[in-house]
Structure 1
Amino acid sequence: MRVSRAQAEENRRTVIDVASRLFREKGFDGIGLNDLMKGAGLTQGGFYKQFESKDDLIVQASDKALENGVANWTGVVAKAPRKPLRALVRFYLSDQHIQEKAEGCALAALAPEAARRGPALRHAFEAGINKHLDILDELISTTAGEKVRDLSIAALSTMVGALVLSRAVDDEQLSKRLLRAATNSLLLKQLDDGAPHSPAQ
């Protein structure tokens, strides 16, 4: 039985959504097409009607995961108008985020793998990185306007690096310490409003 064009597009979106989560959880090579399609409630036979290859899906799923990350950041900032950067740092560098690999940040989960793949995927990550930096640019207050992007890059690098390392160790105390140290470093720099912050607990 033929699938309608609308249903085919819905199936495609479902595969991209599921892949964006499974790739973050298991890595690009950690799940095969059969299990991925099964996770989307579809058969592998329909895959090549929707995507040119697994690499094609990887790019589209990464785009989706990065867009979700930007949306999450925007939501956190909107809910904390008085201390937006403080709220964002605490949201990102949290114990909960360590556990939420499938729903968490694509930069922390997949950027190391993207570095070893083709230009299409690296371009997707480049665009995603810039969108995250744009958000940080709006939150960081400084009299040296030309240095805002450098401060944003340092902040994003600290956040992503701390999350990656905290997930890489079995020692729970070390994992928490990595997050805490990065949080304190960012907040003590007083990037969001120039008012003194107390260190994270």
Structure 2
Amino acid sequence: MGHSQAEKAQNRERILAAAAEQIRADGLESVSVGKLMQAVNLTHGGFYGHFESRSDLLAQALERALAEGQHNARAAVPAGRPGRLAGFVRSYLSRAHRDARQSGCAIGALASDVGRADRRSRVIMTDYIERYITSVADDLGGDDAKAIAAVSAMVGALAIARVITDPARSDAILKAVKDHVTAMQPDGPA
């Protein structure tokens, strides 16, 4: 008995959503096709009706995770708002974001994994990093060099804060970078 196209699309979405959440929480290499398919109540054999390979799944899950992170960032601090960068930095370098690895920024969660991944995954993340830098540069009066420094500091601070086991020290890292990047805004902190 065949499945409808709508049902197939829903199943594919379930697989991608679960894989995107898992890679943000546990890294690219954490995905086992068999366990993933079991988690979404589908057969292992049905996987290849949705994806060419595990590598194809990982690239598409990475794209999904990055797109969700970008959407969440835009929703948190709408474009065109005065002090947008300061608001974004406060949100990005917050305890809540640090502690929400499975739903937070995929760049911060996966940059080192993707640095070792295949070219397709690196190209996908490169595009999102470039968009991130461009967005921050817009808030910094078009200063690309400052934007590169700000994005690198924020992503690095988030990644390091997630590693540090002492909550007070982790918070101090977030605060130090938050203060520094917020001060980069042409009008100063908002």
TM > 0.5 fold call: yes
Deviations 1:120-172 (A, max 9, x none): 0100011111121222122222xxx5xx1211111110100000000111111
1:104: which partner in 2? 104
Please point out which of 169, 173, 179 is paired with 1:178: 173
1:80 shift after superposition: 8.1
CA distance in 2, matches of 1:116, 1:79: 33
CA distance in 2, matches of 1:135, 1:197: 17
The residue type paired with residue 28 of structure 1 is L
- Any stretches of 5+ residues in structure 1 without a counterpart? none
Secondary structure of 1:29's counterpart equals: helix
Change (3 A) 1:125 1:33: same
CA distance in 1, matches of 2:67, 2:134: 13
- Any stretches of 5+ residues in structure 2 without a counterpart? none
TM-score by length of 2: 0.93
CA distance in 2, matches of 1:117, 1:161: 19
Contact map agreement 2:83 2:189 (CA 8 A) in 1? no
Q: Percent identity?
A: 31
The residue type paired with residue 152 of structure 2 is S
1:123: which partner in 2? 123
1:27: which partner in 2? 27
CA distance in 2, matches of 1:133, 1:40: 35
Please point out which of 148, 151, 154 is paired with 1:156: 151
Contact map agreement 2:92 2:154 (CA 8 A) in 1? yes
CA distance in 2, matches of 1:166, 1:19: 24
CA distance in 2, matches of 1:81, 1:38: 44
1:197: which partner in 2? 189
2:15: which partner in 1? 15
CA RMSD of aligned residues (A): 1.7
Deviation above 6 Å: which 4+ runs of structure 1? none
Contact map agreement 1:76 1:84 (CA 8 A) in 2? no
Contact map agreement 1:74 1:135 (CA 8 A) in 2? no
1:54 shift after superposition: 1.0
The residue type paired with residue 39 of structure 2 is G
Aligned length: 190
CA distance in 1, matches of 2:95, 2:110: 19
Is residue 168 of structure 1 aligned with residue 163 of structure 2?
yes
1:99 shift after superposition: 1.1
Contact map agreement 2:18 2:36 (CA 8 A) in 1? yes
2:59: which partner in 1? 59
Secondary structure of 1:78's counterpart equals: coil
